[in-house]
Amino acid sequence: MDMGSQNPLKVLVVGGAGYIGSHVVYDLIRAGHDVAVADNLSTGMRAAVHPNARFYQADITRLEEITNVFSQEAKQGKKDGFEAPSSPIDVVMHFAAKLDVAESVDQPLQYYHNNVEGVRVLLDAMLLAQVKNIVFSSTAAVYGDPSVQEPIKEDTELTPINPYGASKLAAEQLIQWTASANDINYAILRYFNASGADDSLKIGLEKPKYTHLIPLAVRAALGLEDSLKIFGDDWPTHDGSCVRDYIHVSDLSYAHLLAADYLVQKQDSLLVNLGTEHGSSVKEIIAAVERLRLCPYQVVGRRQGDPAILIADAQKARHLLGWKAERTVNDIVESDMRYRLAADERSVLAWE
């Protein structure tokens, strides 16, 4: 996968201290882009931010804090051969959402405040700074529990079944309406299930409380969790466990670089799914982990807000961006396990 770019950009990554955001920052810098990161560190880690990225501790829901970031970046100009931009930033990338489905069911007000109001404030700040391009990290949760079982296309009916998915759909619509009224270009990228770690093993998924299946399974196999919980084994799937489309975080990250180039070069907008177009059940993920180590697990009741099957149709991303996922579920599991086994060989990322 070629990370090089013929068109270096100045990019602001909002939520760049989080899991996916930090991987995108690493890949942007590898590709020669000029990167600033804004994050309130409520769930992200300062230590996960690439040392060559400028960092601002700022809250996306506070207009004065975000406008200050744009103001400071306008003073920076572009360094090391970058031409001065007409606006302080070429492309904004948004990764600053709350994203725990179960938590969203318990705390819908907080999710709408952060995930919708935060996007409204960011768009307001972009308009004030005359920034014209935004890449938005969205989610397959906007589809809800589709009645169709084949891979999900972008025009599948949008019926989210939890506050997380509903808040992300509202944010998508807000971006689209604002873009239409103000000549902004957007790339809305609907992720399926991101997992894995960067090849450098310097960054991966680190959380005080894990909710993602693959790191939970790996941690159980390494003895860092008592056991993995399977939320129901009576779903209408081939083995009774939920089926998801798992995509390596580095494949996902690369799509953001392609999307940024698309916005700047084409001066047009797009909305695409990002997935492998292949589903794996919870039990199949356990089997992938057990290729490496035994994974203890227990079956518990279904979790509220979970659909049975979510698999992407990613043909549109292939057509518009020339992108496709390259890594397998086994690759994802192996990278996550290598990252956790390498913990003693690198500085432990401290929560701030």
One DSSP character per residue, 151-195 reads: PBPTTS-----SHHHHHHHHHHHHHHHHHHHHT-EEEEEEE-EEE
Q: Max CA-CA distance within the chain? A: 59
- Positions of the chain with pLDDT lower than 50, given as ranges: 4, 81-82, 84-86, 346-352
Say how far apart CA 287 and CA 284 lie, in whole Å: 5
Q: Which of 19, 164, 186, 339 is catalytic?
A: 164
Count of alpha carbons within 13 angstroms of residue 14, beta-carbon side: 31
Catalytic annotation on 164?
A: yes
CA quadruple 297, 299, 302, 304: dihedral sign: negative
Residue 89 exposed, middle or buried by CB count within 10 Å (0-12, 13-18, 19+): buried
- Residues 6 or more apart from 155 whose CB is under 8 A from it? none
Kindly report the pTM of this predicted structure: 0.92
For residue 117, the tally of other CB atoms under 10 A from its CB is: 15
What is the bridge-based pairing of β-strands 280-281 and 243-244? antiparallel
Is 135:176 a contact under the CB 8 Å cutoff?
no
Helix intervals (H) in the chain:
19-30, 63-76, 101-106, 108-112, 118-129, 163-182, 213-221, 249-266, 282-290, 315-321, 329-341
CA quadruple 143, 147, 151, 152: dihedral sign: negative
Q: What is the pLDDT of residues 281-317, one digit of tens each?
A: 999 999 999 999 999 999 999 987 678 888 999 999 9
Is 206:349 a contact under the CB 8 Å cutoff?
yes
Give the model's pLDDT for residue 86. 47
Residue 41's φ and ψ, nearest 5 degrees, are 65, 25
Give the model's pLDDT for residue 305. 67
